[in-house]
Amino acid sequence: MQRYREIYERSLRDPEGFWAEAAAGIDWVRRWNRVLNTDRPPFYRWFEGAELNTCYNAVDRHVEGGRGNQPAIIHDSPITGSLRVLSYAELQDEVARFAGVLERCGVKKGDRVIVYMPMVPEALVAMLGCARIGAIHSVVFGGFASNELAARIDDARPRLVVSASCGIEPGRIVPYKPLLDGAIALAAHKPERCVILQRPQARAELTPGRDLDWQEAMAGASPADWVPVAATDPLYILYTSGTTGQPKGIVRDNGGHAVALHWTMKNIYNVDPGEVYWAASDVGWVVGHSYICYGPLLHGNTTIVYEGKPVGTPDAGAFWRVIEQHDVKVLFTAPTAFRAIKKEDPAGELLARHDLSRFRALFLAGERCDPDTLLWAQEKLGVPVIDHWWQTETGWAICANPLGIEMLPVKPGSPSVPMPGYDLRILDDEGRELGPNEMGAIVIRTPLPPGCLPTLWNADERFVQAYLSRYPGYYLTGDAGHRDEDGYLYIMSRIDDVINVAGHRLSTGAIEEVLAAHPDVAECAVIGVADSLKGELPLGLVVLKAGVARDHAMICAELVRKVREEIGPVAAFKLVAVVKRLPKTRSGKILRGTMKRIADGAEWKMPATIDDPAILDEITEALVALGYAGGGDGR
């Protein structure tokens, strides 16, 4: 670990020197006055005084550098049965013309544009078109409910909305235009214009005087040139759910973002310009921003926009087909995707049908990766499988195994070690730093490295209150865990998911690890439920692998015994049920908080990001069978 340690320690000792060197990977219109402005803590700013254009760095400079004919975007849609490849030169043309559409609609530097799109290349064209003229985009996941979209419209106050007539899911078409019209009707702020991409699967009725047809607008557009913006100007706003119900607008600046993402492509993911990199996510999430759109394009890679699922389009071999067909070198996806693949094809029979000899590494993030899933992927793929950890707020990995620096030993259950610039600490409730293997709150000493959020959109006070007030001088990640003697981090749960059983603090994540290791279990979730005697009790919900026909009561008894043996009687683990599926967000995160509120009989509302609302009825039935979902205490 010597090379990693030297680089990491230097980033903490000399952050300005370290990030100034990393900034050489970006083309600047004007260099900075200061690498890091620390005059107004906690509002730190990177590359103050510098000017650049993110779109130029992601597109134009590669065309000028001779990569015009290289594929920039591969759109692979098993749902529609279509494949489209855009070269860097073609992308430059489309982005410049769409920026011209924006200008003709009156959009100018600093204006906001909401992008409400499915997984099509035009979503990236819209994002880059905004960046080209200095407009601030805010991508909202396509298909979000009208009231949630309205809340984002009112907060961002966009001049224009870019959308599509529909999104396409396996077996169904989701019309977007009625949802968009409903959101605009609900919102106090009314966007002046909407640009609608008409898809052949379901065309939308346009509102005269407000809506423009994408193809028609592009056909008559004059290309717009890129404009310089300040490194500290916002590139985008990305909303994440807030605890008060009001969405939090995460702000990402232009300069620090470009520097950090460019640095990660080689140093963390170990890809070279020209190679194909695939983040199997959605543009509506931070992974889609960082590693479908900006990161790969800033680095001169080919990125894949995939409109499909890990299973069901057509089967659990979908990912292997994409990797083989497009010569993917590195895949980044969520552990949930691999649990779904493992559930459907536990022996890896579909994988064996594809030639993955040129595939180099798998990266997992989005939620905690259980060791069983990581080891399964490692065995079947025969390449490094890297669990890494980051957040919407940070925009890139807090902890990872930096393959481009050196391959560190993989420790299943750990996202490895902190990346440069992240001064990671574990603190107790009183703010005291804890030693190895002591569980506490995971925090990062400020200032955060480039690429992380400098604040929330129009909400400086809320930014401080949400992230910086609990431990002054530290950013609160919201996760709990510990570090081992080698400095490897272990994330055990959200801070709110550390449960108190008769005075003993237990991690739901540790119990999930035990359940996931059972040979019949495909995935699981553990929540803490209210108990009148012990305060809280852990409750487990498990999904079995395809083809498991054993008696469910026998499997549950084995799981209870396994937790008792590996965690101890102190866990008081006796509540477990087999369910067909778990409720998740569209990005694959399990909705543990919602399940806990249902179990405790507390008020709850349907999460805006839920993949399939009907799953919660099934979960409620399982909880009722265990004596919960009505305020019962399970006794």
Per-residue pLDDT tens for 107-117? 999 999 999 99
Taking residues 583-610, report their average pLDDT: 84
- Can you tell me the mean pLDDT for 446-463? 97
The answer, yes or no, to whether residue 62 has pLDDT greater than 50, is: yes
Least confident window among 344-348, 426-430, 598-602: 598-602
| Residue 497 scores a pLDDT above 60 | yes
Q: What is the DSSP letter of 222?
A: P
The CATH number given to 502-625 is: 3.30.300.30
355 is written with which tokens?
């030639």
Whole-angstrom distance, CA of residue 61 vs CA of residue 616: 49
Residue 633 pLDDT: 36
pLDDT > 90 fraction of the chain, expressed in percent and rounded: 82
End-to-end CA distance of the chain: 51
Residue 568 confidence (pLDDT): 76
Q: How far apart are CA 569 and CA 587, in angstroms?
A: 35
Pair of tokens at residue 407 = 């391959």
Q: What is the pLDDT, as a whole number, of residue 144?
A: 82
What would the two tokens of residue 190 be? Answer: 């009314």
What would the two tokens of residue 286 be?
């931070």
pLDDT tens digit sequence for 181-221: 999 999 999 999 999 999 999 999 999 999 999 999 999 89
Residue 241 has pLDDT above 80, yes or no: no
**Helix axes 121-133 and 88-104, enclosed angle (nearest 10):** 60
Given a cut of 70, whether residue 505 has pLDDT beyond it is: no
Domains of the chain, by residue range, sit at: 2-308+388-481, 502-625
- Evaluate whether 350 touches 383 at the Cβ level (below 8 Å): no
Residue among 25, 14, 17, 73 at smallest CA distance from 52: 25
Beta-bridged to residue 75, according to DSSP, are: 84, 305
pLDDT confidence of residue 569: 78
What span, in angstroms and rounded, lies between the C-alpha atoms of 19 and 238? 24
Place of tokens 């009907």: 614
Q: Where are the beta strands (DSSP E) in 456-502?
A: 474-483, 489-494, 498-501
pLDDT for the residue numbered 499: 73
- H or E element at residue 115: strand 112-116
What tokens does 608 get?
A: 């805006």
Q: Which tokens sit at 451?
A: 């690429």
610 backbone dihedrals φ, ψ, rounded to 5°: -65, 140
| Alpha helical stretches, state H, 235-292 | 255-267, 286-287
- In angstroms, the CA 441 to CA 427 distance is 5
pLDDT band at 631 (very low <50, low <70, confident <90, very high): very low
User: Model confidence over 273-290: pLDDT tens digits?
Assistant: 999 999 999 999 999 999
pLDDT of 366 over the 90 cut = no
What CATH fold (topology level) applies to the domain 2-308+388-481?
Answer: Rossmann fold (3.40.50)
Average pLDDT, the chain: 93
Q: Kindly tell me the burial class for residue 296, based on how many C-beta atoms sit within 10 Å of its own C-beta (0-12, 13-18, 19 or more).
A: buried
CA distance 134 to 138: 13
Look at residue 36 and give its three-state secondary structure: strand
Query: Does the structure show a pLDDT above 50 at 632?
Result: no
Rounded average pLDDT over 427-439: 94
Amino acid at 23: A
At position 402, the amino acid (one-letter code) is P
Q: CA angle, corner 528, sides to 542 and 148, nearest 5? A: 85
Q: Specify the pLDDT at position 634.
A: 32
pLDDT category, 635, cuts 50, 70, 90?
very low
pLDDT digits (tens, 9 = 90+) for 115-169: 999 999 999 999 999 999 999 999 998 888 888 899 999 999 999 999 999 999 8
pTM to 2 decimal places? 0.85
